[in-house]
Amino acid sequence: MLIRKPGDILPSDITPPEIYRERRRFMQGMGVLAAGAVLGATRDARAGAKLAGVRASAYKLDEERTSFKDATTYNNFYEFGTGKADPAASAGSLKTRPWTVTVEGEVGRPRTYDIEELLKLAPLEERVYRLRCVEGWSMVIPWVGFPMHEIIRRAAPTGNARYVEFVTLNDPRQIPGLRSHVLDWPYVEGLRMDEAMHPLTLLAVGMYGEVLPNQNGAPIRLVVPWKYGFKSAKSIVRIRFVEKQPLTAWMRATPSEYGFYSNVNPEVDHPRWSQAKERRIGEFFKRDTLIFNGYGSQVAQMYRGMDLKKYF
């Protein structure tokens, strides 16, 4: 029998510790939530509430959906901690009402929306999308929301608006992780205008037919399914239309590892691991990573003629 020593094992071959520790960490997280309830840091009363009037969408996949439990307890949301179980354990401190989203910058009709207005801005629909994260794991999630272009159309961007910048909540009283120095807060992300206008780009307010849980980016988040998950900003408070490419949070932190486009591309490795394979949460074996996360037929034309290794 061949026994592989630690030095023989590639980092990409190691099952992420969070997977085999998930159950224990989840139970620990439940203890934190229970303590939080005693201290008054309870979850929003809307958590778990069904969203009414959600219509079916043509954007669905013939793939098994990730379980609700996995999708809500295995998260990247560094504002609430860097561990995958940290957001579920800590996000109860986030208060999602009242909540406003300001639309500003190079637009003819700037305005501030209350979250209740946004819930009625356009018909809500369920879209089942793949989510691929840069660390090498993936999920299939039924999001509920409306296309980003609904806000863009109402904002009437000027000819100077070439990019859309998304800024997330920056309130350490509600989000304790903002006191850390993991990133330069607030979290900022951005899209090129045609990416933001694309029919696949979604502003999500729910998942699995329910109100979006805090740990998944409540009350409103971006979902861009052909890009790595960190491009999909959570808990958005500001949408800015700008002329220059935004300096995003991860580009500011480590520009050699996280480029502006961040399209899912199995041929462009992260400096510290391959992106050729991914592990779907709930499965043991890895599967091949798909170019543009499998959405190439819908989005590849936007990048025709671009060097996708240079503009990663």
Return phi, psi of residue 196, to 5°. Answer: -65, -35
d(CA 74, CA 133): 12
Domain 11-253 in CATH 3.90.420.10? The answer is yes
Confidence of residue 44 (pLDDT cuts 50, 70, 90): low
Least confident range of 13-22, 80-89, 122-131, 144-153: 13-22
Indicate whether 282 pLDDT > 90: yes
Q: Residues 163-167: what's their mean pLDDT? A: 98
Dump pLDDT digits (tens) for 9-30: 343 444 444 443 444 443 434 4
pLDDT, tens digit, for every residue of 105-137? 999 999 999 999 999 999 999 999 999 999 999
Per-residue pLDDT band for 85 (boundaries 50, 70, 90) equals: very high
pLDDT of residue 163: 99
Q: How far apart are CA 267 and CA 288, in angstroms?
A: 11
**Partners of 125 in the β-ladder:** 55, 145
103 confidence band (pLDDT: 50, 70, 90) = very high
Q: Which residues contact 221 (CB under 8 A, 6 or more apart)?
A: 203, 204, 212, 232, 233, 234, 235, 236
Read off the pLDDT of each residue in 254-260 and give the average, rounded to a whole number.
95
Q: What is the CA radius of gyration of the chain?
A: 19
**216-227 tens-digit pLDDT:** 999 999 999 999
Q: 186 with 166: CB under 8 angstroms? A: no
Question: What local confidence, expressed as pLDDT, does residue 253 receive?
Answer: 96
- Across residues 253-265, what is the average pLDDT? 96
Residue 278's contacts (CB-CB under 8 Å, 6 or more residues apart) are 132, 136, 137, 138, 286, 287, 288, 289
Q: Which residue would you say has higher pLDDT here, 9 or 147?
A: 147
* Closest C-alpha to 174, from 78, 90, 238, 100: 90
At 239-249, the pLDDT tens digits run 999 999 999 99
DSSP strands (E only) in 93-179: 100-105, 111-114, 125-132, 137-147, 163-168
Residue whose entry in the numeric block shows the structure tokens 């740990």: 215
Look up the pTM and report it: 0.86
The structural domains of the chain, with segments of one domain joined by +, span 11-253
